[in-house]
Amino acid sequence: MSIDLKQYLRPGVTLPFCAGCGDRILLRLILRAIDELKINIDDMLFVSGIGCAAWIPSPNFNADTLHTLHGRAIAFATGAKVFNPKLKTVVISGDGDLADIGGNHLIHAARRNIDLTVLCANNMNYGMTGGQVCSTTPKGVRTPTTPGGNPYHPFDLCKLVNAAGATYVARYSVTQPSVLVESIKKALQIEGFSFIDIISPCPTQYGRQHRLGTPRETLKFFENRCIMKEDAKGLSEEELEEKIVTGEFSDGGN
């Protein structure tokens, strides 16, 4: 981590992530967005649930951090935000946390369009508990709780949150760092509910179980799958099946 980002880390912390974890990259990119916007981190509150992704802000960010219960981050954040609207309140948590066990809070907060920034680190499984199936796991994928292949279709989180009424909705991958930083900056500035579905590969669980190879190869695998929505336009449904379409799906009116 470069010197200038170190100032945002709580002194004495060691980052807990596995080798090649997308969450470590994401941690940097979030701090870069904050740094570029020159937001005073002391005016920010980071709320997370339970899971690997929930460790991105807590206890690492040298700011107010609230490490809550599995699934409840958005509800906690809602309370903090309405009492102190000056707090720039950012929820950082996993896909399972935000969309499975906490899915109800996600759609209702989006419906109320409350001024929160929700960064969903989507590794397509429950990384922390060993890579079990999640509402974002692609169909057919084998996990410890779907050893015969996931029989269900995954959520398209962007469609879900968009339909619920969020102001800003986007999907980017940590393998697209510069567009992702720009998107996080936008999400932090926009008033209303902003949500980014961030593809954050998990080499230890997802990568290993899928034999995607080394952490580097796992990241490459996702890098190759992600395409910008503009480039997806001409592709057939079959061609799109293997792709993860990234971009803004609701741009908050700008």
Partner 1 sequence: MERRVAFESSFAIAEAVKMADIDVCAAYPITPQTHIVERVAQLVANGELDANYIPVESEHSALSACLGSSAAGGRTFTATAGQGLELMHEVVYVASGMRLPIVMSVCNRALSVPLSIWGDHSDVMSVRDTGWIQIFAENAQQAFDLTLCAFHIAEDPAVLLPTMIHIDGFHLSHVIEPVLLPEQEKVTRFLPKYHHPFALDVNNPAAMGDFALPDLYTEAKVAHDMALRNSIKVILQVWQKFGEEFGREYSPVETYGAEDADILLLTMGSFSEVAMEAIDRLKRAGEKVGLVRLRLWRPFPFEQFRQTVGRAKLLIVLDRALSVGGPGPVCSEVQAALYHLKERPQVIGFIGGLGGRDISVEGFQNMIHRGMDKASQGKPGEIEVFDVREK
Binding site for Mg ion (CB under 5 A): 94-96, 123, 127
Backbone angles phi, psi at 212, to 5 degrees: -85, -5
Q: How far is the CB of 100 from ligand TPP (least distance, A)?
A: 7
Stretch that binds partner 1, among 129-137, 184-192, 194-202, 229-237 (CB under 8 A): 129-137
Q: How far is the CB of 26 from Mg ion (least distance, A)?
A: 12
Cβ burial of 31 (10 Å; 0-12, 13-18, 19+) is buried
Q: How far is the CB of 48 from Mg ion (least distance, A)?
A: 12
Q: Does 92 bind partner 1 (CB under 8 A)?
A: no
Q: Which of 49, 43, 41 has the alpha carbon at shortest distance from 10?
A: 41
Q: Does 140 bind partner 1 (CB under 8 A)?
A: no
Q: Which of 16, 22, 17 has the alpha carbon at shortest distance from 222?
A: 22
Instruction: Give the residues lining the site for ligand TPP (CB under 6 A).
Output: 50-53, 70, 94-97, 121, 123, 125-129, 134
Backbone angles phi, psi at 151, to 5 degrees: -80, -5
Based on CB atoms, which residue is closest to ligand TPP, 70 or 210? 70
Q: How far is the C-alpha of 71 from the C-alpha of 203, rounded, in Å?
A: 23
169 binds, among Mg ion, partner 1, ligand TPP, none (CB under 5 to 8 A by kind): none
Number of residues that bind partner 1 (CB under 8 A): 20
193-209: string of b/e by CB count within 10 Å (b at 16+)?
bbbbbbbbbbbbbbbeb
Q: How far is the C-alpha of 250 from the C-alpha of 254, rounded, in Å?
A: 9
Q: Give residues in contact with partner 1 (CB under 8 A).
A: 50, 67, 69-71, 100-101, 103, 126, 128-130, 132-133, 135, 144-148
